[in-house]
Amino acid sequence: MAVWALGINHTTAPLDLRGRFAFALDQIAPTLNALRDNVGARLGRQPEAAILSTCNRTEIYCAGAQHEIDTTVEWLAHSGGVSESTLRHHAYTLQDASVARHAFRVASGLDSMVLGEPQILGQLKDAVRVAEQAGALGTTLNQLFQRSFAVAKEVRTSTEIGSHSISMSAASVRLAGQLFEDLSQVRVLFVGAGEMIELAATHFAAKGPKAIVVANRTLERGEKLATRFGGEVMRLADLPARLHEFDVVVSSTASQLPIIGLGAVERALRARKHRPMFMVDLAVPRDIEPEVKALEDVYLYTVDDLAKVVHTGAANRQAAVAQAEAIIDAGVQSFVHWMDQRHAVPLIQQLNHQADEWRAAELARARKLLARGEDVDTVLEALSRGLTQKMLHGPMAELRAGDAEARQRASAAIEQFFLRKER
């Protein structure tokens, strides 16, 4: 079984390119089916597959009879509407042990923009659940991901990898505090109601802002989040008309197109008499048109802009990283050993089947002898002799072969399998 992976992330690809390959959770199952059909046409059989898609990365994990990286690159480039050469320039491809090492590092938060952040593990578990429900997981990828979860758990419990981490949400609050002297006097708008917005709302709410409003397509979900933080909810359609009311805007939706345009922000600034606005776009693809950043009274940050802030204190975590890498090394070795063992499974099954046939034949013969009244010791002697002869027939035949080279190989194998001393 071959294992391969293809991906782009915040270190290899710019935000706009990552946006072309961002898949919402409800898009992953049909996307997996298309991928498996495409690669399966080359392999003659659908491969195992899973897709992890977050604001910082899109990664495809596959397992099949042979590596099909080129086919996977071709399919992903086509699905994102870019050339293969463009995708290859920004992507990374991995095989076998390297796939395991990467998956374990991702699950443990070592490959994240926020070193040690725990959110990625939940996102990986969601990706695995969707792949399993789509029937795209098999024994190999299931083992890979279950082991990645176990490694991540050990890293988090045995090291301090996340003790100094700064989340995207915390970084946003820190930057907002640099712009506004008193965050208790600002009005905050959250666009969306997913996990990223929930995290951001938690951090901003701790500063006691003057108002918290949640804008969401589904009012019920938005109201649930707003109620939690003592805020109010509004329809997403009302956003352009009310944008001027807010000093801070944090957006993270699954929209494939920007929902806050340059014109809406310009109108909001005029209504605010050009009082500054702090805006955070945590979505991939973007929720806020990039041209907004050029406006004089707007301070717009994307996930990539927050990178420098979240890296603060990284030097303090190097010892924890070294510990984590050691745990990951052990996990990779264990997975590779399991993969190597799988190659021998068909032979082991054949050997067990043959041994069972020999045992059954000798037992049947022994029962007949006992039924005829033969002495028990005589029957047991015959049983053991019959089994021994069946086991040794093949090796003895090889030792008697006319080919000297074949006899030499047989001698070495017999010494290894039958004559070695127990250690």
Split at pLDDT 50, 70, 90, the class of 421 is low
243: pLDDT strictly greater than 90:
yes
CA distance 238 to 84: 41
Q: What's the length of the chain?
A: 423
Closest residue by Cα to residue 275 from 245, 305, 308: 245
- Percent of the chain as helix, strand, coil, to the nearest 5: 60, 15, 25
Split at pLDDT 50, 70, 90, the class of 345 is low
Q: What is the pLDDT of residues 36-47, one digit of tens each?
A: 999 998 888 999
pTM comes to 0.73
Max avg pLDDT among 33-37, 39-43, 158-162, 391-395: 33-37
Residues 256 and 285: beta-carbon distance below 8 Å: yes
pLDDT of residue 423: 46
Which pair of structure tokens corresponds to residue 206?
């701790």
Q: Which residues are annotated as a binding site?
A: 54-57, 112, 117-119, 123, 192-197
Closest residue by Cα to residue 243 from 266, 220, 219: 266
Residue 216 is classified by DSSP as E
pLDDT of residue 413: 80
Peptide bond into 285 cis (omega under 30): yes
CA distance 289 to 257: 9
Q: What is the pLDDT of residues 51-99, one digit of tens each?
A: 999 988 999 999 999 999 999 999 999 999 999 999 999 999 999 999 9
No. of helices (H) and no. of strands (E), the chain:
17, 10
CA distance 327 to 107: 12
CA distance 322 to 309: 22
Is residue 62 part of the annotated active site? The answer reads no
CA distance 84 to 78: 8
Beta bridge mates, 249: 189, 279
> Of 91 and 386, which is predicted with more confidence?
91
Mean pLDDT computed over 185-204: 93
Which of 8, 55, 115, 259 does the annotation list as catalytic? Answer: 55
What are the phi and psi torsion angles at 152 (to 5°)? -60, -40
Torsion angle, alpha carbons of 362, 368, 369, 373, to 10: 150
Quote the mean pLDDT of the chain. 90
Q: Which residues are annotated as a binding site for NADP(+)?
A: 192-197
pLDDT of residue 91: 97
137: pLDDT strictly greater than 70:
yes
CA distance 319 to 324: 9
Closest residue by Cα to residue 11 from 102, 108, 78: 102
Closest residue by Cα to residue 25 from 93, 173, 126, 170: 126
Q: Is 99 exposed, middle or buried (0-12, 13-18, 19+ CB in 10 A)?
A: buried
13: pLDDT strictly greater than 90:
yes
Q: Which helix (H) or strand (E) holds 95?
A: strand 92-95
pLDDT of residue 314: 58
CA distance 43 to 63: 11
